[in-house]
Amino acid sequence: MKIEVVQEDITKIKVDVIVNAANSSLLGGSGVDGAIHKAGGKEILEACQHIRNRQGKCKTGEAVITTAGNLPAIKVIHTVGPVYNKGNKREEKLLENCYKNSLFLAKENNLKTIAFPNISTGIYRFPKELAAEIAIKAVQEHPILEKVTFVCFDEENYKIYLNKVILLVK
């Protein structure tokens, strides 16, 4: 499995599936969630509404899959990251589950390449260094796809992920 780190807009990445750092409502929000919904168009929102009607909200650490609408990807996996609260509420395990469940869902849908944003490091305040370690280790422990791309929107996350990949992927 190849692991790559890029500083880019995830809505422009050409992979089989991109991961959305969604909120539990699945109806769009701010940050990467809002950008994916905006760029992907109403098809993504409609698919999320069908999922909500069927199962209700998406729980933290879980993942669901939809069309990618107008995005260059084939599908979008929506996963709900944890809000960081000093590590007192199993946040590390829940974040690991976001990555693990997204990988398994991609594999179940015969998708071979996946792009992850930096889940929970924005308004959910997960420490960026710790989040990067959890993300990379989760991917390494489940090498079930051909390629994983960590897509960092800002330079700070890009440098953190690049350094962690160099250190952890040996």
Q: Which residues contact 141 (CB under 8 A, 6 or more apart)?
A: 100
Beta pairing, strands 17-22 & 113-116:
parallel
- HSE-up (13 A, CA, CB side) for residue 155: 0
Question: Residues 9, 16, 33, 154: which is the catalytic one?
Answer: 33
SS3 for 8-32 is CCHHHCCCCEEEEEECCCCCCCCHH
Q: Is 120 helix (H, G, I), strand (E, B) or coil?
A: coil
Which two structure tokens, joined as six digits, stand for 32?
A: 């990467």
In eight-state DSSP terms, residue 6 is E
Please return the burial class of 167, using the count of CB atoms within 10 Å of its CB with bins 0-12, 13-18 and 19+. exposed
Q: Is 33 a catalytic residue?
A: yes
Query: Alpha-carbon distance 51 to 58, whole Å?
Result: 9
Which two structure tokens, joined as six digits, stand for 130?
A: 């710790």
Which residues are known catalytic residues? 33
